Amino acid sequence: MTMAVPAGRGLVDDVRVDEREGGGRRPDPEVEPKARRRSFSAAYKLRILNEYEAAPDGQKGAILRRENLYSAHIVEWRKAREAGALAGLSKPKGRPPVDDRDKELEKLRAEKAKLEKELA
């Protein structure tokens, strides 16, 4: 007795059976070869939160479907916003740029120290 199992999402379609290893097997085109975690910028999170909160009750689900998000995203992003984490994420990374006045001030202080040393 032979039983045929239809190939569903995530299953491999056996085209034919032969002795070669992996021979005749096609990967399902709907399944990505390697899963990748999505990441969202702070500006995107704030924009979606504002849009979600401003929407009437019937339209909130439409926003989530359109953006391919879950309600858990909104919950976590609200918590992060209330904790101030999203405001910190929107700042550029690295050191703040040095002001030209600070450079000139350091130069003048070094010159003053040199002149005082010569005078003494």
Q: What parts of the chain have a pLDDT lower than 50?
A: 17-18
First CA to last CA distance, the chain: 107
Cα 116 from Cα 109, distance rounded (Å): 11
State the pLDDT at residue 112: 94
C-alpha of 38 from chain center: 6
- The model's pTM is 0.47
108 in Cβ contact with 61 (< 8 Å):
no
Taking only the tens place, the pLDDT of each residue in 62-97 is 999 999 999 999 999 999 888 887 666 566 677 777
Number of H-type helices and E-type strands within the chain: 5, 2
State the pLDDT at residue 3: 55
**Across all residues in the chain, what is the average pLDDT?**
79
State the pLDDT at residue 74: 94
Cα 69 from Cα 108, distance rounded (Å): 56
Instruction: List the chain domain ranges.
Output: 39-91
